[in-house]
Amino acid sequence: MSLPDLYPGFETVTVDVGEVTLFARVGGPIGAPAVVLAHGYPQSHAMWHRIAPKLAETLRVVVVDLRGYGQSSVPAPEERHAQMSKRRMGADIVALMAKLGAERFAFVGHDRGARVGYRLGFDQPERLTGLVLIDIVPTPVMWERMDATFSRKVYHWSFLAQAAPVPETLIAKAPIEHLFQTLAGWTVDKDLSAFDPGALAHYRAYFRDPARIAACCEDYRAGATIDVEHDEADRRAGRRITVPTQIIWGSVGLPADAKARESGPLTVWRDWCETLEGGPVEGGHFLAEENPEATLALMQPFLARVAR
């Protein structure tokens, strides 16, 4: 089945980065400063279709499916879910960009993609010109906030991290219903009106695949184990991200629990980043689709500065 082309004028590439092959769309002026756009759960590269063309007017834009998601390949399971660690996902991006001729690049990530981005900021800061992290707080902080109220809001963190094959089996009974409930539930309007039908077709196509459902679960299992270990090691050592970082969050997004509303995610991130700016956007969790204009208004000036 052919899927809608949400990126007319963009090149389609599938690149072998060693452990996996990554699917990406590439557009913008050849030789311009490069930026990677990475999606979150339960989405794919399609989520950036209202953002990428504008960025591609001045930047070389690479819109990627993370390993296990979308049209990228699914890695074989490993002990401690290491194959879906954000460290390995970040290494994928570095290898992809090197093969595309960009040794340094800016990175924009939403949700799980943002977790890949900040891990890359710790592991390989020399590769990055800047980081934009959308609607997250650091993984250990998310787990530390899991009181009765917040855990109901982000129930999927615990559900997807349960031992295989429990979440895989339950999701497989009604995968599209689960997908659409998740997408709708994290928007302001609690429906699918924010999503383009073409983007929904992309999300449906990969979410019907049991191997990719399993990869999503492995992503969250890594987020409950090995990713926390990597983050805590940096926190104990007093390391901070030195790359210029912008934080964008939804006014009623997933990190907007009571603690976040008191001070905003910037307060949390100041303990993790040396150079920090950012602000809220009116919307829920899926800002690139719910409110792309306001998201671009924050993101574009920052990316222009770090590109220089």
Pairing of strands 21-27, 34-38: unpaired
φ/ψ (deg, to 5) at 195: -100, 130
Residue found by looking up tokens 């899991």 in the block: 146
Find the catalytic residue in 39, 45, 49, 111.
Answer: 111
Q: Are the beta carbons of 286 and 272 closer than 8 angstroms?
A: no
Report helix, strand or coil for 106.
strand
Nearest alpha carbon to residue 140 among 269, 242, 38: 269
Ramachandran category for residue 43: left, alpha or beta (phi over 0 → left; psi -120 to 50 → alpha): beta
φ/ψ (deg, to 5) at 223: -70, -15
Find the catalytic residue in 49, 156, 230, 285.
Answer: 285
Instruction: Mark whether 45 is an active-site residue.
Output: no
Instruction: Mark whether 111 is an active-site residue.
Output: yes
* Alpha-carbon gap, residue 57 to 46, rounded angstroms: 18
Which residues have a catalytic role annotated? 111, 285
